Amino acid sequence: MTIKSVSTEIRLSKLEIINDLRLVCESRQASLLGRREVFMGKAKFGIFGDGKELAQIALAKVFKKGDWRSGYYRDQTWMLAVDVGNLKQFFAQLYAHADLEAEPSTGGRLMNVHYGSRSLDEKGNWLNQLERYNSATDMSPTSIQMARLLGFAYASKLYRQLPDLKKYSKLFSNHGNEVAFGSIGDGACAEGIFYETINAAGVLQVPMVASVWDDGYAISVPREMQTTKAEISKALAGFQRNDTEKGVEILKVNGWDYEALCNTYQYAASLSRTEHVPVVIHVDELTQPQGHSTSGSQERYKSKERLAWEIEYDCVKKFKEWIIKNGIATIEEIQAVDRKAKEDVRSARDAAWKEFQVFMKTDFDEALTAIDSLLEESVQKAEIQKVKDNLQKTINPIRMDLIAAVKKALLVTRNEVLISQEGLRSWLIRVNVENSDRYSSHTYSQSQYSPLKVKEIKPIFNDKSALVDGREVINACFDAALKRDPRIFAIGEDVGKIGDVNQGFAGLQDKYGDLRVTDTGIRETTIIGQGIGAAQRGLRPICEIQYLDYIIYGLEPICDDLASIHYRSKGGHKSPVIIRTRGHRLEGVWHSGSPIGMILNCVRGIYLLVPRNMIQAAGLYNVLFQSDNPAIMIECLNAYRQKEKMPANVGEFTVPLGVPEIIKQGEDITIVTYGAMCKIVMDAAEQLANVGISVEVIDVQTLLPFDIHKIVLKSIKKTNRVIFADEDVPGAASAYMMQQVIEVQGAFQYLDCPPVTISAKEHRPAYSSDGDYFSKPNVETVFDQVYKIMNEVSPARFPEYY
Ligand SMILES: Cc1ncc(C[n+]2csc(CCOP(=O)(O)OP(=O)(O)O)c2C)c(N)n1
């Protein structure tokens, strides 16, 4: 086993080294002051990058414009060094200053040391990534950053190897020379995502440099309890490339050794950039001077000896010693740098705090003035004075304190009619709009490229339209898309050679090559991550999850990363990944095809499409290919062999998102459903017609967005009865549809009887046809439920019969 430590010669000027010292000192000081701000009650929580400064300085030297970072909450020095966040912004984020000017990484939406560059202008157009240091917006779940790291690196591979991408690469890539740099804590390396990513990077051979910041602990748990052999570089040894086998370059270096760090990063970046070799750098012997975060103290779990070692091996101390030993600067010069760093950090803190106060002050002053007017006019003086006093007594009041006070003041005067009440009411309306922008905008695309803005083009059928298997429709749709747009590529298990398990991509690898239609390992998490990173670099991935139930493996990056990319960066990044899968009416416990509620409830920010056949699916895909919001497409397994007419414009027609289709008109009751249940409900409706019950069947087609034109409501106004049917567990997606219609659309007042849901049983479906029949709703279930409702309406016309 070779764990390499590299020795190349570095040449750094005194100026550069002193500049590094300045950055290191500033970053350390920011951590110290930041922690103090939390304890003084000026910020809620603090997590910092102290102890990792020196390694990040070495990293920042090789991190070039155009490169990407996918790191975590310890990368403070790295980000300060390349100015993705400056010192004032560091404190603005600590205070949760909810304004993009003050806190450009997230607009105050994420906790501190959660960085992000901006890839989009205010209108959602791509900015030039080659002109900036790119950083994905950070996340707190440990190791999740690894999945998308693979995608950032993979994009370089595609940009280098696919000649047709040249004309699209202007803003994104210079011949695939960009390296994706990642970082992860030693504890988080125990997560499966870490190993999955390293393995996939070794297979794919992509330019990825992942640093493991090893400070020996994950909060309180030591690395002996996290990692085999207590050392990640040893545990990864099998991945090491050699002269005959490709793999991963694994390097180890101590985090207090400036020279070795600079050498190692130079070597790693150059190898990865030129040869697209993935590299892992195990940065060992790091420390954590202030402990994990502002919650808890490290004295509870670190021994006295360990704490003493951490003081001795503190990277800032060691760096200063190295500078002196090598005659680069005197103690006095170092002290001057230190002093200046302290002053600069203090003034950045003071400036950030002042701006934060001013930011709150307008609202505060206006609210107080309006409360004063009320005090003058109202008879409830004592009560209003109390509200005012309480507000004035609040230490560092924030917006929620103001809203609560204003609402209380209005409540106190509810029995009076006063001119000054209007002032408070209009204040509330104004701040509600502003706060909605601060905290609730950008869940979905707001740009001109939103899927909701794509024009509807109807499918064209003519005499020549052949009746074909549904899979052929989807295959033709993908063929047209791959031909039209070289940025589109598909990855997944069995997607390449055999064109997926249901042949949607059949023949397309032969036609477009194995980088456009690509087989992957069984690794759902990183299939999604590969898409997330690549899409943030301007590509258009279709990530396939072979069967719906296995999306659970990919749900972590879908839910924690993809769904909130646009939201948590307040419109700074987008990642229009299409996640393709097949579901509904599969077979058995792990192929139920129906956990839609589970998905629905954790992917807000991603559109969820559930078409009943392949024509509808193709029309929805054609919308997604030209828009910029991520989406999950659940195709119906049993529709691949269903006969459908091939539209003449299969590559162009569109099916709008959020527009249900009434697939059968009726008068007595509305059934709202989707996916494979459409056929079951239609069959039941036919039988119900035979006994004189007229059912209106609505296929919602997309659950997110849901019926934006209130088509279901219109139907209920006519039938006054409604059932929400699907094959998920009780209280899942059927209940969601009910909430949307009854509460959001306001259908309650038009109902003559209680709304009902039809769903599967609580357990997972048993195997085979009877298993399915007794686990999931079927034609009889639907018939019985409708008949029961109609029996209650008119027992004479619809008598009980069993
Ligand atoms: C998935 C997940 N599990 C648990 C946590 C809680 N947590 C936050 S940080 C942390 C320790 C991480 O240790 P390590 O990866 O070594 O990084 P360090 O903080 O030491 O830099 C834990 C357990 C989390 N954020 N995410």
Query: How far is ligand 1, taken at its centre, from the CA of residue 213, in Å?
Result: 12
Query: How far is ligand 1, taken at its centre, from the CA of residue 219, in Å?
Result: 7
Q: How far is CA 262 from the centre of its chain?
A: 33
Query: How far is ligand 1, taken at its centre, from the CA of residue 570, in Å?
Result: 25
Ligand 1 neighbourhood includes 570 CB (under 6 angstroms): no
Ligand 1 neighbourhood includes 218 CB (under 6 angstroms): yes
40 to 43, 279, 682: CA distances (angstroms): 8, 42, 64
Query: How far is ligand 1, taken at its centre, from the CA of residue 292, in Å?
Result: 9
Ligand 1 neighbourhood includes 219 CB (under 6 angstroms): yes
Q: Which long-range contacts (CB under 8 A, 24 or more apart) does 321-324 make?
A: 322/258, 322/259, 323/17, 323/21
Query: How far is ligand 1, taken at its centre, from the CA of residue 96, in Å?
Result: 22
What is the pLDDT, as a whole number, of residue 1?
34
Q: How far is CA 4 from the centre of its chain?
A: 35
Query: How far is ligand 1, taken at its centre, from the CA of residue 594, in Å?
Result: 33
* Tokens read off for 234: 């040893």
pTM of the model: 0.97
Q: What span, in angstroms and rounded, lies between the C-alpha atoms of 194 and 198?
A: 6
Query: How far is ligand 1, taken at its centre, from the CA of residue 52, in Å?
Result: 15
Instruction: For ligand 1, atom 18, name the residue with the nearest CA.
Output: 185
What is the pLDDT, as a whole number, of residue 395?
87
Q: Which of 219, 283, 287, 298 to mutate to test the pocket of ligand 1 (most atoms within 8 A of CB)?
A: 219
Which atom of ligand 1 has the smallest separation from the CA of 142?
A: 26
Residue with tokens 């130079």: 266
- Per the CB < 8 A criterion, the answer to whether 384 and 410 are in contact is no
Q: What span, in angstroms and rounded, lies between the C-alpha atoms of 358 and 365?
A: 10
Residue with tokens 């040449």: 11
- Per the CB < 8 A criterion, the answer to whether 413 and 382 are in contact is no
Q: Which of 48, 56, 75, 142 to mutate to test the pocket of ligand 1 (most atoms within 8 A of CB)?
A: 142
Ligand 1 neighbourhood includes 142 CB (under 6 angstroms): yes
What is the pLDDT, as a whole number, of residue 396?
86
Instruction: For ligand 1, atom 7, name the residue with the nearest CA.
Output: 142
Q: What span, in angstroms and rounded, lies between the C-alpha atoms of 83 and 89?
A: 10
Which atom of ligand 1 has the smallest separation from the CA of 223?
A: 16
Cα diameter, the chain: 103
Which atom of ligand 1 has the smallest separation from the CA of 288?
A: 20
What is the pLDDT, as a whole number, of residue 62?
98
Ligand 1 neighbourhood includes 185 CB (under 6 angstroms): yes
- Per the CB < 8 A criterion, the answer to whether 727 and 584 are in contact is yes
- Alpha helices, H only, 520-600: 524-536, 551-556, 565-568, 596-600
Query: How far is ligand 1, taken at its centre, from the CA of residue 763, in Å?
Result: 34
Q: What span, in angstroms and rounded, lies between the C-alpha atoms of 651 and 654?
A: 9
Q: In sequence order, what DSSP letters do the residues of 516-527 get, joined into one string?
A: TEEE--S-HHHH
User: Could you count the other beta carbons within 10 Å of the beta carbon of residue 145?
Assistant: 31
Query: How far is ligand 1, taken at its centre, from the CA of residue 112, in Å?
Result: 15
Which atom of ligand 1 has the smallest separation from the CA of 52?
A: 21
Pairing status of strand 540-545 against strand 578-583: parallel
What is the pLDDT, as a whole number, of residue 9?
59
What is the pLDDT, as a whole number, of residue 6?
58
Query: How far is ligand 1, taken at its centre, from the CA of residue 142, in Å?
Result: 5
Query: How far is ligand 1, taken at its centre, from the CA of residue 122, in Å?
Result: 33
* Tokens read off for 734: 């059927």
CA neighbours closer than 13 Å in the CB half-sphere of residue 102:
25
3-state secondary structure of 658: coil
Give per-10-residue mean pLDDT for the chain (802 aa).
51 93 98 97 96 98 98 98 98 98 98 98 98 98 98 98 96 98 98 98 98 97 97 98 98 98 97 98 98 92 97 98 96 98 98 96 94 97 97 91 97 98 96 98 98 98 95 98 98 98 98 98 98 98 98 98 98 98 93 94 98 98 98 97 97 98 98 98 98 98 98 98 98 98 98 98 96 97 98 97 94
Strand partners, 671: 697, 723
What is the pLDDT, as a whole number, of residue 3?
43
Ligand 1 neighbourhood includes 186 CB (under 6 angstroms): yes
Which atom of ligand 1 has the smallest separation from the CA of 72?
A: 21
Ligand 1 neighbourhood includes 114 CB (under 6 angstroms): no
Kindly report whether the peptide bond that precedes residue 705 is cis, defined as omega within 30 degrees of 0.
yes
State the helix-helix crossing angle for 258-275 and 53-62, rounded to 10 degrees: 30
Produce one character per residue of 549-585: b if its CB has 16 or more CB atoms within 10 Å, e if not. bbbebbbbbbbbbbbbbbbbbbbbbbbbbbbbbbbbb
Closest by CA to 258, choosing from 568, 527, 23, 554, is: 23
73 to 142, 184, 302, 700: CA distances (angstroms): 9, 9, 21, 41
Q: Show Cβ contacts of residue 365 under 8 Å, excluding neighbours closer than 6 positions.
A: none
Instruction: For ligand 1, atom 20, name the residue with the nearest CA.
Output: 218
Ligand 1 neighbourhood includes 207 CB (under 6 angstroms): no
Q: What span, in angstroms and rounded, lies between the C-alpha atoms of 5 and 24?
A: 23
* Burial environment of residue 12 by CB neighbours within 10 A (0 to 12, 13 to 18, 19 or more): middle
Q: What span, in angstroms and rounded, lies between the C-alpha atoms of 119 and 324?
A: 42
Query: How far is ligand 1, taken at its centre, from the CA of residue 473, in Å?
Result: 46
Query: How far is ligand 1, taken at its centre, from the CA of residue 532, in Å?
Result: 22
- Per the CB < 8 A criterion, the answer to whether 409 and 55 are in contact is no
28 to 414, 585, 775: CA distances (angstroms): 53, 57, 60
